[in-house]
């Protein structure tokens, strides 16, 4: 049985965007804006979204590590893919 993973809202949105890709790399264009999904403040620009994305992704990777699950960078900085130990 797996343990519960406590996530912040931005982490939850990032994981959801990557999970929807079903093993294929989720593009940065999809994952970075996912942080603000449902946010009523639409005034954030792309630079602010990218700045918030990197720390949230780093925290999420640390939380997934004990479950032998990682979020890998896709080739050529295209995006990110979810990897689970033993599953290719």
Mean pLDDT of 16-33: 81
* Strand 79-84, strand 26-27: pairing: antiparallel
In a domain, 2, yes or no: no
Its domain, for residue 38, covers 9-84
Cα–Cα distances (Å) from 86 to 40, 61, 83, in that order, read 40, 17, 9
Total structural domains within the chain = 1
pLDDT at 13 over 90: no
CATH number for the domain harbouring residue 56? 1.10.10
pLDDT at 49 over 80: no
In a domain, 80, yes or no: yes
């Amino acid at each position: 049985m797996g343990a519960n993973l406590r996530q912040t809202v931005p982490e939850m949105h990032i994981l959801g965007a990557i999970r929807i890709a079903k093993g294929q790399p989720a593009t940065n264009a999809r994952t970075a804006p996912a942080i603000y999904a449902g946010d009523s403040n639409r005034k954030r620009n792309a630079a602010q979204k990218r700045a918030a994305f990197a720390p949230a992704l780093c925290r999420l990777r640390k939380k997934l590590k004990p479950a032998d699950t990682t979020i890998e960078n896709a080739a050529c900085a295209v995006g990110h893919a979810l990897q689970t130990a033993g599953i290719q």
